[in-house]
Amino acid sequence: MVSRVIPVEPFDLVIFGGTGDLARRKILPALFRRFCAGQMPHEARIIGAARSRHGADEYKATVRAAIVEFVGGNEAQSDALEGFVDRIDYVTVDARGTDGWAELAGKMRDGCVRAFYFSVAPALFGDLAERIHHHGIATEQSRIVVEKPFGNDLATARALNDTLAEHFDEGQIYRIDHYLGKETVQNLMAIRFGNMLFEPLWNSQYVDHIQITVAETVGVGGRGEYYDKAGAMRDMMQNHLMQLLCLIAMEPPAKFDPDAVRDEKLKVIRALDAVEPHHIVRGQYQALDGEHPGYREAAGNPRSSTESYIALKAHISNWRWAGTPFYLRTGKRLVARSSVISVVFKDAPHSIFGAEAGRHANVLSIRLQPNEGITLQVTIKEPGPGGMRLVDVPLDMTFAEALGPEGGDPPDAYERLIMDVIRGNQTLFMRGDEVEAAWAWADPMIAGWTARGEVPKPYESGSVGPDHAEQLLRRDGRAWRGIKP
Ligand code: NAP
């Protein structure tokens, strides 16, 4: 099955922080792939902007090197690379100064979409918004893209929303959560709202519980200083896992349009109960055989009480979900890299096969990475003679296989999201009130463990996390599903 590519309108995309890590690793490779796919029109232009003094040719060389490093293979060696690089320009701009702004204003073309990607430290978002406005660089149709983290708590998120709102309408602000750009996340909505099969069962009457796991094998690496001020709650739970929770739990929106979808997500966040302290487990990874440093060493803070792992049990107080727990966990240096949502259905009310047939629950697993796909675990008779024994087997739909080789790999999340910015579609971006509501849910938990002086539980690198997290489910007569690559 070959996916259809519809070219977007011509655009000028300014990447503030165009020389930084995110631009080189994600944004420029994503744009290059869309260029190769024929989605980026030839009139499109990408302007890198940062304080470093580069000529346009020097920056083009940086872009070429980034594509070779992060896209690699034949793709990066093709003629397409030169065609792509021809669309690149550079301006030396200081977000906090006067340098470069007039030059940037002079480069903007009339009659095409203007988008400004803020790929710089969040402390600069307000400065950029103010200067873009002051220098008359933005039109009413211009868009700004802001990266995570969006605030550090409710107060800072609110302040940032207010600052951006001084210069841009909410309809012009695209807050990125790259999890929302994943193929499977959108498929989650297609599966729920495009089929009759699941939605009648999608409630507390039939669903025993839901698990959301985002496991990483990497440690904090070079991000130790930032991470130690954030921790797994701020870095992952409040944003990525919260967004997944919203999509799995929300009511069907009346239509697939940005505000209809985001209104429903917001209702989920607002219906979340406060999480009780004994329903939260925080952990910190330990060193592994002298091979990998432990969290505290990696973070450069020997007395750190920041969590590199968090698991919690959440409840949504509404008609659909009353009584169904949502178990969420995320952590670093775990046994495998795996992001999965599992909807665990209740057992059949009565087993006609007797107690010896055991308990068999259907599980719908939505894998976000690696190998994006969906598996439905169903119960069948064990093949062969000798009585009625039951086994659980997966009905597996790995997208790469199901859609065939012509389908290619699904586009990277950044590819889809940047094209959505150009198209002016905000469905997969967080609205300001959603972000604030998510902080309002997370803040009391953080304040609680800070006030109690809690120290995270140690866990072995390469494990499934602290044992206390296993107990969180064991107490309820349940178990986490395995973390498998
Ligand atoms: P980075 O590697 O430190 O790059 C920062 C960029 O900002 C550089 O291009 C830098 O260039 C530019 N810059 C710094 N001060 C500036 C100023 N006053 N005016 C104009 N440009 C300035 O950071 P990054 O890792 O790319 O992260 C960028 C943003 O993305 C951050 O908000 C981060 O939280 C977010 N993010 C990053 C990742 C990731 O994987 N890297 C993932 C998720 C979110 P000059 O020094 O030359 O000015």
Distance, CA of 5 to CA of 354 (rounded, Å): 54
Q: 116 and 199: one domain?
A: no
Q: How far is CA 267 from CA 209, 252, 259, 270, 318, in A?
A: 20, 12, 12, 5, 10
Pocket lining: 121 vs ligand 1, CB cutoff 6 Å: yes
> How far are the Cα atoms of 96, 101, 171, 172, 481 from residue 165, in angstroms, in the given order?
19, 21, 10, 10, 43
Ligand 1 geometric centre to CA of 75 (Å) = 26
DSSP string, 236-301: IIIIIIHHHHHHHHPPPPSSSSHHHHHHHHHHHHHTBPPPPGGGEEEEEEPPBTTTB--HHHHHT-
Q: Does the residue 440 lie in any domain?
A: no
Q: Is residue 481 part of a domain?
A: no
The question of whether 360 is a catalytic residue gets the answer no
CATH code of residue 90: 3.40.50.720
Residues 120 and 188 in one domain: no
Largest CA distance in the chain: 82
Instruction: Say if 470 falls within a structural domain.
Output: yes
Q: What is the DSSP letter of 180?
A: G
31 close to 418: Cβ distance less than 8 angstroms: yes
Q: Are 179 and 240 in contact (CB under 8 A)?
A: yes
Residues in the chain: 485
Find out whether 269 and 434 touch, Cβ atoms under 8 Å. yes
In a domain, 160, yes or no: no
- Is 100 in the same domain as 240? no
Q: Answer whether 124 contacts ligand 1 (Cβ < 6 A).
A: yes
Tell me which residue range forms the domain holding 272.
180-414+456-474
**Residue 18 assigned as binding residue:** yes
Please give the pLDDT value at position 337: 97
List the CATH number of the domain containing 258: 3.30.360.10
Query: Is residue 207 domain-shared with residue 66, that is, in the same domain?
Result: no
Query: Do 16 and 85 share a domain, yes or no?
Result: yes
105 belongs to a structural domain? yes
- The overall pTM is greater than 0.85: yes
Low-confidence ranges of the chain (pLDDT < 70): 1-3, 75-77, 399-410
- Looking at residue 406, what is its pLDDT? 53
pLDDT tens for 310-361 read 999 999 999 999 999 999 999 999 999 999 999 999 998 888 888 777 778 8
Q: Are residues 59 and 114 in the same domain?
A: yes
In the sheet with 113-118, reading across from the earlier edge strand, the strands are 88-92, 45-50, 11-16, 113-118, 143-146, 173-175
Distance of alpha carbon 129 from its chain centroid, rounded? 24
Rounded Cα gap, residues 157 and 242, in angstroms: 16
Same domain for 225 and 343, yes or no, is: yes
Contact yes or no for 208/479 (Cβ under 8 A): no
Question: Is any ligand 1 atom within 6 A of the Cβ of residue 426?
Answer: no
What is the residue type of 188?
L
16 lines ligand 1 (CB under 6 A): yes
Helix (H, G, I), strand (E, B) or coil at 69: helix
- Asked if 338 and 355 touch (Cβ cutoff 8 Å), the reply is no
- Which of 167, 209, 240, 279 is catalytic? The answer is 240
- 282: which 2 tokens? 């925080």
Q: Say whether 17 counts as a known binding-site residue.
A: yes
Judge if the upstream peptide bond of residue 370 is cis by omega within 30 degrees of 0. yes
φ, ψ (nearest 5 deg) of residue 327: -100, 125
Is 213 flagged in the annotation as binding? Answer: no
Same domain, 196 and 321: yes
Please indicate if the annotation marks 300 as binding a ligand. no
Angle of the 432-451 helix axis to the 242-249 helix axis, nearest 10: 120
Which residue bears the tokens 């690559």?
Answer: 485
CA–CA distance, 432 with 158 (Å, rounded to integer): 8
Same domain, 142 and 184: no
Nearest alpha carbon, ligand 1 atom 4: 20
- Residue 209 sits in the same domain as residue 355: yes
Number of domains in the chain: 2
CA 248, CA 160: separation in Å to the nearest integer? 28
Q: Rounded to an integer, what distance in angstroms lies between the CA atom of residue 224 and that of residue 222?
A: 6
Let me know if residue 3 belongs to a domain. Answer: no
Q: Of ligand 1's atoms, which has the minimum distance to the CA of residue 122?
A: 32
pLDDT score of 76: 63
Q: Which atom of ligand 1 is nearest to 16's Cα?
A: 21
In a 3-state reduction of DSSP, which class is residue 195?
coil
- Do the domain assignments include residue 230? yes
Specify whether 56 is located in the same domain as 200.
no
Are 60 and 203 contained in the same domain? no
Q: Is 430 part of a structural domain of the chain?
A: no
Q: How far apart are CA 276 and CA 378, in angstroms?
A: 34
